[in-house]
Structure 1
Amino acid sequence: MDASPTALRDRPPRGASPRWLPRSFYARAALILIVPVVTIQLAVAVMFLQRHYEDVTVQMTSNMAREIALAREHPDLADALDIDLGAPPAASRIRFWDLSARAMREQLREDFPDLVAVDTVSVRKRVALGFEDGTGMRFDRHNVSAANPHQLLVLMVATAILMTAVSFLFMRGQIRPIRRLARAAEAFGRGQHADYRPTGATEVRAAGTAFLDMRARIERHIEQRTLLLSGVSHDLRTPLTRMKLELSMMDVPQSAELAGDVEAMERIIDTFLEFARESATDERARVALKPLLRDAAEMAMPNRPVELTGPELDADIYPEGMRRAVANLVKNAGRYGDRVRVSLQSGAGAIVVAVEDDGPGIPENAYEAAMRPFSRLDDARSNTAGNVGLGLSIVRDVARAHGGALRLGRSDLGGLKAEIVVPR
């Protein structure tokens, strides 16, 4: 049983990537680019900050420790050393993100075991020390730690942002041809001929050229099939017309049976022409679906009632193709069942036209075979009715021309349920 395009798109393939990874190629390429850049930036920043805040601060603090020791031994030299003597701080105060202050405190404690308090918060850009003997002193912060590397960090971040933006623009230009190829392939799958010219990198151009070759081969195949079926069917009409004329002038008991066989052959030819014609002359238009379904049901079974349910909807479709597809389904349902129901449903991303009957239905394992061209499930049945097994195949081709699918299932009426699913 065919799945709808939405189900096929949402179904995770084997070996799919983890759910936390982005799904688009553009996002994945950006992730591949950004992660190494950010990692390198962080590694450089950590190494630089460790060197700057720890090694340089420890060296400068060691130099300052000698001046502090000199000022403690000779207080009269404190002014010359730019050290202010006074009351000690009440307690140690260091901000938790101040790495250089932490390194400075550890080095000062190593040099002065009697150090009891280090305060870098009370007075901005000043360090206050307190010792066990009750003395205290203050000096400029820049004497024990290098200037904060804000300029270098800002430069690193600004450079990273600039290069990432340039890379994004470059990637966007590289991904644009892939998106154009995807749109052209999607349009061709819906029966439309989108203008496409291969561009981009060598690999993308190769894929685009292969797509154009494939599209040309498929179009030639469809054209040849159409010409073949149309030609054969047209050539058979002349002898059939002559046979009908001769049978009408015959007055023998067998003439009625022969006339029935000729009519069956005409129906087979009409079916061939319908299959060959598909939607070649049909153009998309926005139409009201419910009146179209009613016309299709009346065309297929003019003398029998058909239930029609569903809301009033407008859709952008191939009107003649949809009318022919629904008529085929209604005709099949009326052939094998007494009750026929046509329903219209609308979802978030698709429109579903369902035709159901109360007949014997089709075994589930024969759904795919029933939709193949020239496939008849009852091989022993004679073909006097003109059945060549093209009805469901025509319906599936019409559904695919809309970018949708034909689904078969079991109806609650007891027979077959055929659904034409087309995207909105």
Structure 2
Amino acid sequence: MSAPSHPALAHRAASRRWLPRSFYARAALILILPIIVIQLAVAVMFLQRHYEDVTVQMTTNMMREIALVRARPALAPDLEITLGTGPAEDHVRIWDLSGRAMREVLEAAFDDLEAVNTVALRKTVQLGFADGTWMRFPRSNVSASNPHQLLVLMVGTALLMTAISFFFMRGQIRPIRRLARAAEAFGRGQSTAYWPSGPTEVRAAGTAFLDMRARIERHIEQRTLLLSGVSHDLRTPLTRMKLELAMMDETEVEGLIRDVAAMERIIDTFLDFSREGSTDVRTKVDALALLTEAVEGTAHDRPVAVSGDRIEAELMPEGMRRALSNLVSNALNYGTTVRAHVAQGDHTLMFTVEDDGPGIPEPDRDAATRPFQRLDSARSNTAGNVGLGLSIVRDVARAHGGSLRLGRSDLGGLKAQIIVPT
């Protein structure tokens, strides 16, 4: 798909590049983002405010005990405070909110406080003073115990609710995936079993798809019956005309013989167009051998260079052989040098037929693949060309889930490529 040409569309597309591609991932993002935002809001508003306020209050109470022990050291054992002398290192982790709040309160209360260490001993606070003394007491005296329990509960609840949401969301997206698979299979010419399910909107889309598929199948069936019936009915009078012309002097009816041959080719083309994809089934075949058979059955004694590797692929052999024969026939009609090639790409199989003829101008290439579109302006049709050759090729490519690509060959003529997924 080409990039948006309008500046507003280009800006909108660029602004959405960060979004996930699938609906499942986008729905998951919609579920996860609010949970993360709520967790952060609770952590900032509750943990920071609540635990800091609790720490300030408990530290204020502990501050009186510290002052009492400094004045009367004999009371230290009764208050679970250990005294000592020597240097003390100041170390409070950056993310320790309660430790930072405690240090601010103690520094404001004691001018000679030089160090606050909450890391040296686990669950212990050590204070160092300017006179070379230090004291140590349990961390629980100045901050709430087990503050991580709320965090664990929050994270655990969030993970549980996210898992439940994912399971529920998978059940809601499954009907959409089933509808997408059915539509993709129908685009490849396969009618798979499908029944609408899921939410109301998905059921409505599924019902609309089934109605559309039924209408298209009826249209294809009517087209096939019409072309087959007309073509078969025309064969009987055409055969009588050929018998009558065969009993006449060939020099007198030479023009009529050419017209009858052109009519026969037109009828054969109609039959090919009506039979396209009706009875063919996918079979694993050798792509190079299939291309060689199509070339040999069409080129007869004219030289056509065939190249490529032996590639095993699941194809509709009758339809693909017919499509390749049409491409080779067109190339031989309009060019003198023709070559055919088969190659395998990334998850694709590519058949290429090239010639050195006049080619097709780029503005006319789309019209050339439409049914009953002829690029020549002649009113007569003595060659039996009804404009269905490339249309049949395009339909066969689409039945395989692929496409027909027309371009310019380095031989100077048309380069036709059938690209199908593998």
User: Structure 2 matches for 1:343-382, cutoff 5 A?
Assistant: 343-380=341-378, 382=380
Q: Work out the percentage of aligned pairs sharing the same amino acid.
A: 70
Partner of residue 98, structure 1 = 96
- Amino acid paired to 2:106: L
Partner of residue 67, structure 2 = 69
- SS at the partner of 1:303? coil
Partner of residue 233, structure 1 = 231
Looking at structure 1, the residues matched to 156 and 334 of structure 2 have their Cα atoms a distance apart, in angstroms, of 74
Partners of 1:89 and 1:118 within 8 A in 2: no
- SS at the partner of 1:343? strand
- Amino acid paired to 2:405: R
Residue number among 106, 111, 122 corresponding to 2:109 in the alignment: 111
In 2 relative to 1, CA 131–251 (structure 1 residues): closer, same or farther, beyond 3 Å?
closer
Give the drift of 1:349: 1.5
- Structure 1 segments of 4 or more deviating over 6 A? none
Give the drift of 1:253: 4.9
Q: Deviations over 1:369-405 (max 9, x none)?
A: 1111111111126211111111000000000000000
- SS at the partner of 1:139? strand
Q: Deviations over 1:161-204 (max 9, x none)?
A: 11111110001011111111010001000000111111101001
- Amino acid paired to 1:401: A
Give the drift of 1:100: 1.4
Q: Deviations over 1:235-274 (max 9, x none)?
A: 1112222222222333485422112211211111111111
User: Structure 2 matches for 1:22-421, cutoff 5 A?
Assistant: 22-251=20-249, 253-380=251-378, 382-421=380-419
Give the drift of 1:118: 1.8
In 2 relative to 1, CA 243–122 (structure 1 residues): closer, same or farther, beyond 3 Å?
closer
Looking at structure 2, the residues matched to 120 and 88 of structure 1 have their Cα atoms a distance apart, in angstroms, of 17
Looking at structure 2, the residues matched to 364 and 129 of structure 1 have their Cα atoms a distance apart, in angstroms, of 85
Q: Which has the higher contact order (CA 8 A, sep 6+)?
A: 1
- Amino acid paired to 1:293: L
Q: Alignment length, in residue pairs?
A: 415
Q: Deviations over 1:195-220 (max 9, x none)?
A: 11111010011111111001000000
- Amino acid paired to 2:271: L
Partners of 1:357 and 1:415 within 8 A in 2: yes
Looking at structure 1, the residues matched to 235 and 331 of structure 2 have their Cα atoms a distance apart, in angstroms, of 28
- Amino acid paired to 2:153: L
Partners of 2:315 and 2:400 within 8 A in 1: yes
Partners of 2:357 and 2:414 within 8 A in 1: yes
Q: Deviations over 1:315-351 (max 9, x none)?
A: 1000000100010111111111111111111101211
- SS at the partner of 2:157? helix
Looking at structure 1, the residues matched to 3 and 147 of structure 2 have their Cα atoms a distance apart, in angstroms, of 48
Looking at structure 2, the residues matched to 389 and 101 of structure 1 have their Cα atoms a distance apart, in angstroms, of 85
Deviates more, 1:14-23 or 1:36-45: 14-23
Provide structure 1 residue ranges, at least 5 long, that are not aligned to the other structure.
1-7
Partners of 2:407 and 2:414 within 8 A in 1: yes
Looking at structure 1, the residues matched to 27 and 390 of structure 2 have their Cα atoms a distance apart, in angstroms, of 43
Partners of 2:343 and 2:350 within 8 A in 1: yes
- Amino acid paired to 2:30: I
Partners of 2:285 and 2:314 within 8 A in 1: yes
- Amino acid paired to 1:294: T
Looking at structure 2, the residues matched to 226 and 374 of structure 1 have their Cα atoms a distance apart, in angstroms, of 15
- Amino acid paired to 2:203: R
TM score, norm. by length of structure 2: 0.94
Partners of 2:103 and 2:116 within 8 A in 1: yes
Looking at structure 2, the residues matched to 228 and 359 of structure 1 have their Cα atoms a distance apart, in angstroms, of 35
Cα RMSD (Å) of the superposition? 1.7
Give the drift of 1:129: 2.0
Looking at structure 1, the residues matched to 47 and 72 of structure 2 have their Cα atoms a distance apart, in angstroms, of 36
Give the drift of 1:132: 2.7
- Amino acid paired to 1:137: M
Looking at structure 1, the residues matched to 263 and 211 of structure 2 have their Cα atoms a distance apart, in angstroms, of 38
- Amino acid paired to 2:65: E
- SS at the partner of 1:80? helix
Deviates more, 1:183-192 or 1:50-59: 50-59
Give the drift of 1:18: 2.9
Partners of 1:308 and 1:341 within 8 A in 2: yes
Partners of 1:287 and 1:315 within 8 A in 2: yes
Partners of 1:57 and 1:104 within 8 A in 2: yes
